A = this chain, B = another copy of it.
C-alpha cells in the first residue's frame, strides 16, 4: 500500500453555456468536478423570448444538468446557491452552510439585466435573461390580454407593449409579441382592437441590430415596420412608470408592459464580489488565459468575465458563442496547469451572428460571408438553433412545437400558469 495523492477538485459555479462547457471539457479527466447551480437545469437562453411569448414551453429550453453529465463519472452536480468564497482556505460556502473545497474554481455566473440607472426600470420593467423572467413575462402578457378582454370598459380599446433595446433580443421579442397579439385578437377573438394596438421598439442607437451590417439593419427595420412594430430610434427611456414610459424627446407612451432588453451586467453578482477591480459592466477582469487577475486557481468565463478576444486589448461581447468557447478554453487551461504545462491565451473565433424577426424572416451573417435574410435566413437560424440545443429530446420537442406553431398557430400552449413573483 502506498498513499494516493488526492484528485484535484474543480468547482464550477454556474450551469449556463460557459459552465457546462468547462465541465464537459474536464469529463473523463483525472479531476473531480462539481457543478453548482441554484437551478437543476441548464437554460438555452437564445430561445427564452419564445417562452415569454408562449411559442415554447419552459421544458423545451431547459435541460437537467445531471442528465448532461450522466456518462461522466467524475462530474457531479450540486443544487445550491453560493453564499461566499473563502479564497484563503480555497473553499466555496453555500447558503445552506455546506462547504466545497477546491483546487480550481471557475466563475461562470452569468449576468443580470443592466438598467443603466433609468428611473423605475429595475422595479417596473420586465427583463428577459432567466427562465423565471420568461415565465413571468409570459404570464404578464397573457393576463394583460385576458383582463382587457374581460373588462373592456376599464381600458382603451387597443393595447401597447414597449420593448427597450433593439439588439437581437429586443428585435426578436418585439416581433414575437406582435405575433402573439395578432393570434390572440384574430384567432382567439379577444375583445381588443388590433388597429389601435401597438408594439413599440425603443433604442438610443439610430438603427436596429447595430452589430449587423447596415443593409441587414435596414432589412430588419423594414420587416418590423411591415409587421406593424413601431420603431423609436435615437431616443432613450428616461423613466419607466406603472402605466408606461417617458422618452428623452419628451414623448409619453402608455404601455401595459415594458420589456427590458437593453443590456446585461455582471454587477452585484458573485463574480463581481470576487474581482479586485471589476471591468466593463461589472465583468471580472481576466488574464488572456481566462484566469482572474490577482488570483491563482480562479477562472472566470462567459458573461461574468471581461474575456479578452485575443485581438489587441478588445473584450468579447456577452454572447453565447463566447461563453461556449471560453468554457472549452478554460477546461484545457486547468488541465495544462495541473500537468505543469503553460497556459494559452484565449482567441475568440467569430463564426457569425444571426437574429430572427418572426415567422419566415431572419438575418444571418457568417463571419466572412454575406448577409443571408428572409426565409433562407430563417431556415439557417432554425437549423443552427436546433443543432445547439443540448439534448436530442428537446430538439424533437422544439421542432414539433415550431412546426405546429407554423402550421396552426392557435394551438400553441398559451397557458397562464401561476408563477412566483420572484425566483432565485
Within A80-135, the residues touching B (CB, 8 Å) are: 80, 94, 96, 98, 131-132, 135
Complex alpha-carbon distance, A147 and B149, angstroms? 43
A384: min CB distance to chain B, Å: 22
Given the interface pairs A57-B57, A131-B417, A416-B40, the reply to whether A67 lies near B146 with Cβ below 8 Å is: no
Within A396-415, the residues touching B (CB, 8 Å) are: 396-397, 400, 404, 408, 410-411, 413-415
The yes or no answer to A419 lying at the interface (CB within 8 A) is yes
Complex alpha-carbon distance, A79 and B419, angstroms? 17
Q: Are B76's CB and A189's CB within 8 A? A: yes
Selected contact of A411 from candidates B96, B393, B421, CB within 8 Å:
B393
Q: Are B393's CB and A79's CB within 8 A? A: no
Complex alpha-carbon distance, A135 and B397, angstroms? 20
Report the count of interface residues on A (CB-CB < 8 A): 53
Selected contact of A146 from candidates B40, B143, B421, CB within 8 Å:
B40
Name the B residues within 8 Å of A419 (CB-CB).
Answer: 418-420
Residue from the set A59, A66, A135 with the largest chain B CB neighbour count within 10 Å: A59
Q: Are B397's CB and A188's CB within 8 A? A: no
Q: Are B189's CB and A413's CB within 8 A? A: no
The yes or no answer to A70 lying at the interface (CB within 8 A) is yes
User: How would residues 46 to 85 of chain A score, 1 for a CB under 8 Å from any chain B CB and 0 otherwise?
Assistant: 0000000000011100111011001000001011100000
Selected contact of A410 from candidates B67, B142, B397, B415, CB within 8 Å:
B67
Name the B residues within 8 Å of A408 (CB-CB).
Answer: 393
A348: min CB distance to chain B, Å: 31
Residues of A within 8 A of B (CB): 39-41, 57-59, 62-64, 66-67, 70, 76, 78-80, 94, 96, 98, 131-132, 135, 142-143, 146-147, 149-151, 187-189, 391-393, 396-397, 400, 404, 408, 410-411, 413-421, 423-424
4 further interface pairs, Cβ-Cβ under 8 Å (given A40-B146, A58-B417, A64-B415): A63-B413, A96-B151, A393-B411, A418-B424
Pick 10 A–B contacts, CB within 8 A, sort by A: A41-B415, A57-B59, A59-B413, A70-B410, A79-B146, A131-B417, A392-B411, A397-B397, A397-B400, A418-B424
